[in-house]
Every structure is written in C-alpha cells, then in structure tokens.
Amino acid sequence: MTVTTSSRSFRLVCTPEERPLVEELLRAQGYDFEPEPFSEWSRKITHEPKPLGSSLAAFFGLIYIQDRSSMLPPVVLHPEAGDAVLDMCASPGSKTGFLAQLVGSSGFVLGNEPSRNRLATLRQNLFTMNLLHTATCSYPGESLPLPSGGWKKIQLDPPCSGWGTVERNPNVLKLWQGDKVKPLIGIQRKLLQEAFRLLAPGGKVVFSTCTTNVQENEEQVRFATNEIGFKLQPITAPEGFTFEAPYLDGCEGTLRVDPEKSGAQGFYIAAFTKPEDAEAPEEFEPGLKADIMPRRALSMPGVDTSLLPEGELAHVRENALFLPQYALDNFPETFRWRGFPIGKMARGEVRPSPRLRALMPEYEEDNGINLEETEPIERLLTGQSMQVKAKGKECGLYFKGLRLGRLKVKGNRVLWSEK
C-alpha cells in the first residue's frame, strides 16, 4: 500500500556536497519530497511508499525525521559555523543534532539530558547521525555544574504539557490540566534562571515548547524578562508557517505556530539575550582524567584520520571515544561527560564501528564497494553476504560515492555486521 502525506518532514544529515546523493538514495527507493522554505536542510515528504524510518537513508543516519515546527528553534538560535552550543534538555536529540549540523565539525554541541532513561536515546541518535563534534552529559538542567557565563548560545526546550501535539497524542489535554501543570511551570522557571547564569553577556537563549498553554509560554516570557533580567529579542518569522499573535502584551516578537494552517505541531518560541553589562564569566581551570591515545591508533585502511575534528582519542574501558577539543578546554575536571564513541578497543587498536561513515575516505576501488542500485544494499542489511574482491578485514560501503558504512570481509565475501 502506498502512503502519501503532506505534513511529514525530515532533515538531511550530511555535508552540503552529499545532499544531492542522499536525495538520490531516497528517490531510488521511491520516496519524493520538496524543499522546506525555512532551512536548506529540511524537506517535506510528498510520496512515501513505505514508512520513511525504514529507508536506507534513515538506517544510515543520513536523514532525521522531525516535525517541521521542532526544526524552528535551532533555525531561530542560528549558530554560526564554529560556534559552541549548549542544549539543556536534549533527548531525543532532534534539536541537538540540527544544532550540530549548523555549527559544523569546527563547532561543538553539548547535549544534557536529565533523565537517565532518555539519555541512551540521545546518545544513540547522535551516534547514528555521526556527529563527532558532540558530547553528552546527564545532570538536572536547573543545576548544571558548569562555570557561569561560559556559553554564547543556549537551546532550552524544557519539559512541557505538550498540548501542541494533541493530534498525535490525544490524551495530553487530559493528562496535563489544572494543578498538574504547576510542577512543569516551576521547573521551566528554574531552567530559565539557570540558562541566564550559564549564558555569556551578550549571548542568546532560545526558549521553546510544544504546548499552546499560555502559562508555559507568554507568562514564562514575562517571568524571564521581569524577574530574571533577560532581554526579549524579537524573532523574524521563518517562511512556510502561519503564526498567531502572542496571547499577552509584552511578548511581541515571540512565535506561536498555528498548527492547522502550518501543517505542523503547535509550538511556541522566544529568544532572549543577556545584557552586555551582566557579570563577567567565571574563571576556572579546565581538566580531564582520561587515557589519551595517539591518533595513529586509528591509522588503518578505510579510516581517514584527517577527517577527525580537533580533539583527542581516549580509551575508556573497552571503548574508544573521541573528545572534542572545546570540551577539553572548557569543562572543569569534576564535570562528568562522554565524548563520541568511535569503536571498540582490541589489542591496543581501535576497531571502528560499522556505522562510522564520517571517517571513511572518498571512494576508490581499493577501499570499498560502490553500488549503483539500492537492492544489493537492502540484501546486505538482511544478513546476506556479497561476493566481491576486497582486501583486509573491512571495507567501505558506498552508494554512487556516498559513504554509508563499513562492511566486514570474510574471504571473498562481504557482509554487514554491527557485532
């Protein structure tokens, strides 16, 4: 059965040069889509022969399915290439991943997820998307043990009642009514206060919710400006949406997405800045206790270490992690965080993950197999092997030159294995 939809959206997760090939991979499996006007990375599905999450592009982390409203906060925060960004309540990683795309490999994004149960989802999504210049941690968002004034860009998408998702989650209006919303309002205010402390003078915070509740939206904006000291920064409305006027005076320049007219979730977005004359950033001594390894531990066929961002490799238990340089330079020794998992350690060498496409070199005949059709790739993912001429223990898998992942070599055959 063919499913056609006009509202499902996704992001391309790749370099600008790879975008045409990712789109070609999708179309080769029958999908069609059109550009979204608010971001060069965003697309809207127009034809979906089977669930988009089962596509090869989704499996290899080359796209990320995301409601179009949820893409707006990173667009509004608008980090530049090379910026460092803190995402205070990050799981499942939708906005964290988009922010990491926007800052590029020369930048850095820290995703904090207070819930240990949700932390694994955040880490898995960043891993699948191959965003090496990210790190994660798990602290209560209202009390992050980081120095004051250290971040110029902060994304704050706090726990909320989710009234804007009522079409997808019909029970949210029953679950979050009356006094049940009060704890959410309280934690949102504590998070706003913590964001003010962490923000550098002149820095920017984007506050967003997926609710239509004025207590969690406009009333929080008034609290942030009247009680905390934030300055409201008016937002230029992105194209492709219809926005309602804010429900309270003093909140002009914030965005309230009209879900019906926009074909998206109900969303609310406000942007704040910290006065330039606010207290100067706190001084501290950065530090980290870790077993640092030389980059040559990754020097093996099919791995191009020149593609690593600035940072170090570390041996942590049986894992090899990449530690972005920004984190090494700006986190106190007592701060607990995790870098990007590169692979497993074995006999003093790093065994790269099969999904580590970010460090695969450009395709050449001696470093992988380059397929022109999607069917052989689909067969590999079902456990079938393929007869090829390949050297070494591993080789790269490419689609028309697009890096997908790493295959195991067994004699004259290759297979996909994540073990």
Q: What are phi and psi of 262, to 5 degrees?
A: -95, -10
* HSE of 112, CA atoms in CB hemisphere, 13 A: 23
For residue 81, the SS3 value is coil
* HSE of 6, CA atoms in CB hemisphere, 13 A: 4
Task: Report how far residue 32's alpha carbon sits from residue 18's, in angstroms, rounded to the nearest whole number.
Answer: 17
Closest CA to 321 of 300, 338, 296: 338
Task: Report how far residue 363's alpha carbon sits from residue 131's, in angstroms, rounded to the nearest whole number.
Answer: 21
Q: Is 89 a catalytic residue?
A: no
Bridge-based pairing state of the strands 340-346 and 386-387: unpaired
Task: Report how far residue 19's alpha carbon sits from residue 24's, in angstroms, rounded to the nearest whole number.
Answer: 9
- The four Cα atoms 326, 310, 72, 148 give a dihedral, to 10 degrees, of 0
Other Cβ atoms closer than 10 A to 305: 14
Task: Report how far residue 100's alpha carbon sits from residue 221's, in angstroms, rounded to the nearest whole number.
Answer: 26
Options 137, 210, 251, 395, the catalytic residue: 210
Contacts of residue 138, defined as CB under 8 A and 6 or more positions apart, other chains included, come to 112, 113, 114, 115, 116, 119
Report yes or no: 105 and 82 within 8 Å, Cβ to Cβ: no
Question: Does an H or E element contain 59, and which?
Answer: helix 56-59
Sign of dihedral through CA atoms 343, 346, 350, 351?
negative
Cis peptide bond N-terminal to 92, omega within 30: yes
Written as six digits, the tokens of 310 are 């600035």
204, with CB counted inside 10 A (0-12, 13-18, 19+), is: buried
Written as six digits, the tokens of 247 are 């429900």
Report yes or no: 323 and 313 within 8 Å, Cβ to Cβ: yes
Contacts of residue 38, defined as CB under 8 A and 6 or more positions apart, other chains included, come to 68, 71, 72, 75, 238, 239, 240, 241
Looking at the annotation, which residues are catalytic? 210
